Chain A
Amino acid sequence: MADRRLTCVAGLVLVWGAAIFYNLIKLQIVHHQDYVLKARNRQEHVIEIPSPRGAILDRAGHLLAASLSTQSVTVDPLKLPDIKFNASLLAGQLHLDEAELYDRIQAAYKAHRGFLWVKRDITPREARELDALKLDWIHINTESQRHYPKGTLAAHVLGGVDFEEDGNAGIEKALNQELRGEAGKARLLTDAQHRKIDQQLSNEGRAGAVITLTIDERLQFVAEREIAAAVAEHGAVSGSVVVMNPYDGQILALASYPTYNPNEPPASVNDPGRANHATGVSFEPGSVFKVITLSAALETTSLTPESLINCHGGVLTLFNRTIHDSHGGNGIMPMRDVLAKSSNIGAIEIGLQVGREKMYDYVRRFGFGQKTGIPLPGEDRGRLRRLPIWGATSLASISMGQEVSVTTLQLAQAAAVVANGGLLVKPRIVLRSDGRPALPEPGVRVIQPETAIKMRQMMEGVVLVGTGKGAKLDGYTTGGKTGSAQIYDFAARHYTHTYNGSFMGFAPVTNPAVVVVVTLNGTHGTAGFGGAAAAPVFRAVATEALRILDVPKDLPDAQPETPALVAKADAMDDLAIADLGSSQPNILEDRDDEEPAAQAPAAAPVDAKGSVPNFRGMSLRAVLTVAAARGITVLADGSGTARLQNPPAGAVLHEGERIRVQFAR
Chain B
Amino acid sequence: MTVGADAEASASNARPKSARVERDPFLLRTLPHEDVFFYCKKIDNSRLVREADPESRRACWSAIGAACLLLGLLTAALAPSAANTLAGYRIEALRAEAHRMADERRMLDLQQAELLSPERLEKLAQKQNLVTPSSAQVVRLDSHSDSAVAMVKK
**Contact of B91 (CB < 8 Å), options: A150, A198, A639:** A198
Question: CA of A628 to CA of B113 in the docked complex: distance in angstroms?
Answer: 37
Kindly name the residue among B107, B111, B135, B145 whose own CB sees the greatest number of chain A CB atoms within 10 A. Answer: B135
Which residues of chain B come closer than 8 Å to A217, judged between CB atoms?
118
B85→A474 contact, CB < 8 A:
no
Q: Considering only CB atoms and an 8 Å cut-off, how many residues of chain A contact the other chain? A: 49
Q: Is B37 an interface residue (CB 8 A)?
A: no
CA distance A63 to B153 in the complex (A): 33
State in angstroms the CA–CA spacing of A403 and B75 once bound together.
Answer: 91
Identity of the chain B residue whose Cβ is nearest the Cβ of A63 in the assembled complex:
B113
Which residues in window 108-140 of B have CB below 8 A to A? 109-114, 116-119, 122, 132, 134-136, 138-140
Contacting pair B107 A68 (CB below 8 A)? yes
In the complex, are the beta carbons of B140 and A553 less than 8 A apart? yes
Q: Which residues of A contact B141 (CB under 8 A)?
A: 624, 634, 636
> Could you say which residues of chain A place their CB within 8 Å of the CB of B151?
620-621, 624
Within the complex, what minimum Cβ distance (angstroms) separates A596 from chain B?
11
Encode A451-488 as 1/0 by CB contact (under 8 A) with B. Answer: 00000000000000000000001111000000000000
Q: Which of B85, B92, B136 meets A199, CB within 8 Å?
A: B92
Determine the distance from Cα of A368 to Cα of B29 in the docked complex, in whole angstroms. 136
Contact status A63-B109, CB under 8 Å: yes
Quick one: which of A150-167 are within 8 Å of B by CB?
Answer: 150-151, 153
Given known contacts A69-B103, A198-B88, A199-B92, is B119 in contact with A147 (CB within 8 Å)? no
Q: Among B84, B89, B117, which residue has its beta carbon within 8 angstroms of that of A196?
A: B89
A472 to chain B, nearest CB (A): 11
A153, B85: Cβ atoms under 8 Å? no
Q: A115 contacts the other chain (Cβ, under 8 Å)?
A: no
Cβ–Cβ < 8 Å partners of B113 in chain A: 62-64, 66, 149-150
A658, B142: Cβ atoms closer than 8 Å: yes
Report chain A residues within 8 Å CB of B12.
none
Are B139 and A624 in contact, CB atoms less than 8 angstroms apart?
yes
Residues on A with C-beta less than 8 A from B143 are 550
Q: Are B142 and A635 in contact (CB under 8 A)?
A: yes
Of residues 95 through 113 on chain B, the ones whose CB sits less than 8 Å from some CB of chain A are 95-96, 103, 106-107, 109-113
Residues of B within 8 A of A (CB): 84-85, 88-89, 91-93, 95-96, 103, 106-107, 109-114, 116-119, 122, 132, 134-136, 138-147, 151, 153
5 closest residue pairs by CB, A with B: A149-B113, A196-B92, A221-B118, A63-B113, A474-B135
Enumerate 10 A-B pairs (CB-CB under 8 Å) in ascending A order.
A68-B110, A150-B113, A151-B117, A196-B92, A196-B96, A199-B95, A476-B135, A543-B135, A553-B140, A621-B153
